[in-house]
Structure 1
Amino acid sequence: MVMIGVPDSAVNVLGGALETCSNAPLTGFFRDGCCNTSDQDAGCHTVCAVMTRAFLDFSRSRGNDLAASGPGFPGLKAGDRWCLCASRWLEAYRNDCAPRVVLAATHMKTLELVPLEALRSHAQGTEH
């Protein structure tokens, strides 16, 4: 039985346990620090990415200003980790401005939209 509002199995794109993406700022569809997802997450917020100015500008140009603060949201800056929509990350990748990805903190469901090779090519540090 699937319960509404309960995260899907927490497995990362490498096949291991999903690691925390960020607790400061607190990220994730469930605001649990992880890029967990469920059927309620229409945006598929599953990619743990390290924000860059270029990506934040790109996102703003697409109508989602992640740098702007709002109620309960501090706004993001370069260097912050955040769970991005897989489709937005892929769009940025195709436009040569995708941010680095933390593979161990990126949910397996991402692979339904984004090829592992694309994620690996933008892996943070030595995660390739």
Structure 2
Amino acid sequence: MTGYLRNGYCEVPASDFGNHAIAAEVTEEFLKFSARQGNDLRPIPGMKSGCKWCLCTTRWLEAFKARGSEPAGDRIVPKIFLNATNEKALNKINLEDLKAFAADKQE
């Protein structure tokens, strides 16, 4: 089960120094990108494209910023679920950028 607390939600307690606030569906392109950045998530049991996971805000932001220079383009940026993303993500990421990659479009 995803979430720092393994409860299915992207809660960010004080002990979560990685700020795992982004509720996302990972892609194979993102998993490869993250591995190249030094954080290979693929050894996590069951981790594969299509998995929902609470990502660190810094890693999602790195993928977002790198999309223009990556052959995979926007596919390296995981779609996010705004309704399950913790508001602490806004400490590092602009809401409009999150909305641009939202799987659950909101007005």
TM-score by length of 2: 0.87
Q: Which has the larger radius of gyration?
A: 1
Indicate the residue corresponding to 1:85 in structure 2. 56
Gaps of 5+ in 1: 1-25
Q: Which residue of 2 aligns with 1:113?
A: 92
Bigger proportion of residues as helix: 2
Task: Give the AA of the match of 2:52.
Answer: R
Kindly indicate whether the alpha-carbon contact (under 8 Å) linking 1:66 and 1:75 is maintained by their aligned counterparts in 2. Answer: no
Matches of 1:40 and 1:50, distance apart in 2: 24
Deviations 1:21-53 (A, max 9, x none): xxxxx1111111110011111000000011101
Q: Aligned with 2:97: secondary structure?
A: helix
Is this contact kept in 2: 1:102–1:127, CA < 8 A? no
1:38 paired residue number: 13
Give matches, 1:52-91, under 5 Å.
52-69=27-44, 74-91=45-62
Count of matched residue pairs: 99
Helix, strand or coil at the partner of 1:48: strand
Q: Secondary structure at the match of 1:45?
A: coil
Give 3-state SS (helix, strand or coil) of 2:21's partner: strand
Q: Contact between 1:28 and 1:35, CA under 8 Å: does it hold in 2?
A: yes
Percent identity over the alignment is 41
Stretches of structure 2 lacking an aligned partner (at least 5 in a row): 68-75
Q: Which 4+ runs in 1 deviate beyond 2 A?
A: 125-128
CA RMSD in angstroms, aligned pairs only: 1.2
